[in-house]
Amino acid sequence: MAFGRFSRRSAAAAEPVTLKVLVAGGFGVGKTTLVGAVSEIRPLRTEESLSEVGRPVDDVSGVEGKTTTTVAMDFGRITLREDLILYLFGTPGQDRFWFLWDELAQGALGAVVLADTRRLEDCFAAVDYFERRGIPFAVAVNCFEGTDRFPPETVRAALDLDEAVPLLVGDARDRESVKQILVAVVEHALARVDQAREPVAT
Ligand SMILES: Nc1nc2c(ncn2[C@@H]2O[C@H](COP(=O)(O)OP(=O)(O)OP(=O)(O)O)[C@@H](O)[C@H]2O)c(=O)[nH]1
Ligand SMILES: [Mg+2]
């Protein structure tokens, strides 16, 4: 009995582990939506109106209802387990904000790359970015209504993804779906950390 009480108390007193996860992907793919769907704090957003001036560059085909865009980042928090808290950083989707990425990526455990199968090429740059820097990532296809569903293997081939990269299909508006995506990223990233720690056979 006493042991149980003590262990509960010490577990409660332990500081939770906090991890940083990026949410990336092309313009209008649902990054801000994803962070907002799971965040237990009011997410910090840096949305600006899509202006007439930006119309030639900001391609809203597929997300015609979109009136704003992220100009710096989204920020949210989710407690995955009582001892594990994720800080989510959504990246801006447009190419003109690339200069912010290195700053946002610092200290990140891993990333989610959101993809829209109608404009798969929009997430190539994000996939490239994380591959080059060795940041573990998972790809999540955000299913918009009325879009064709492709078998995950077709998407994997189109993105030329390594077998080890988790590929999920989900809905950025749905809390449970987003949680599954985040769990997959964390598990994948932690497995990579473990692998890196394994002694090299001589
Ligand atoms: N039908 C549907 N609409 C979605 C989904 N995810 C996002 N949306 C809508 O798509 C639009 C774009 O979503 P955002 O979350 O702003 O996209 P973003 O990736 O943050 O956009 P940028 O920051 O401008 O790159 C919004 O109008 C959302 O309501 C989805 O899963 N299904
Ligand atoms: Mg956004």
CA angle 136, 141, 145 (to 5 degrees): 160
Least confident range from 23-37, 41-55, 123-137: namely 41-55
Which of 124, 122, 136, 135 is CA-nearest to residue 58? 122
> Cα 149 to chain center, whole Å?
21
What amino acid is encoded at 7 in this protein? S
CA of 126 to the centre of ligand 2 (A): 14
Q: What is the mean pLDDT of residues 120-127?
A: 94
Task: Give 32 Cα–ligand 1 centroid separation in angstroms.
Answer: 7
Domain boundaries, the chain: 14-197
**Spatial CA neighbour of 86 closest among 190, 191, 182:** 182
pLDDT at residue 101 greater than cutoff 70:
yes
pLDDT at position 3 is 44
Higher pLDDT, 43 or 177: 177
CA distance 159 to 2: 55
Query: 69 CB under 6 A from ligand 1?
Result: yes
pLDDT at 168 over 80: yes
Q: Mean pLDDT across the stretch 29-45?
A: 94
Please state which architecture CATH assigns to domain 14-197: 3-Layer(aba) Sandwich (3.40)
Mean pLDDT across the chain, nearest whole number?
88
- Closest atom, ligand 1, to C-alpha of 67: 27
| Residue 137, H or E segment | strand 137-142
The residue among 15 and 137 whose pLDDT is bigger is: 137
For ligand 1, say whether the CB of 36 is within 6 Å of any of its atoms: no
Mean pLDDT score, 60-81? 87
Percent of the chain scored above 90 by pLDDT?
Answer: 62
**Lookup: tokens for 60:** 């809203």
Read off the pLDDT of each residue in 95-100 and give the average, rounded to a whole number.
86
Q: Please give the share of the chain, as a percent, with pLDDT higher than 70.
A: 89
Cβ atoms 80, 109 nearer than 8 A: no
Token pair of 115 as six digits = 């993809």
Atom of ligand 1 nearest to the CA of 145: 1
Q: What burial letters (b/e) apply to 85-106, b meaning 16+ CB within 10 Å?
A: bbbbbbbbbbeebeeebeebbe
Residue 136 in contact with ligand 1 by CB distance below 6 A: no
Helix (H, G, I), strand (E, B) or coil at 153: helix
Protein residue with least CA distance to atom 27, ligand 1 = 66
Per the document, the length of the chain is 202
Q: What is the distance in A from the centroid of ligand 1 to the CA of 103?
A: 23
Q: State how far the Cα of 180 lies from the Cα of 32, in Å rounded to an integer.
A: 17
Residues with CB under 5 A from ligand 2 (ion): 31-32, 70
Q: In which element (H, E) is residue 104 found? A: helix 101-105
Check pocket membership of 43 for ligand 1, CB cut-off 6 A. Answer: no
pTM of the model: 0.87
Contact 110, 21 (CB under 8 A): yes
pLDDT digits (tens, 9 = 90+) for 138-167: 999 999 888 888 898 999 999 999 999 999
Q: State the pLDDT at residue 15.
A: 87
Contact between 115 and 142 (Cβ < 8 Å) = yes
Q: What is the helix (H) or strand (E) element at residue 88, kind and residue range?
A: strand 84-90
The preferred substitution site among 38, 66, 69, 118 for testing ligand 1, maximizing ligand atoms within 8 Å of CB, is: 66
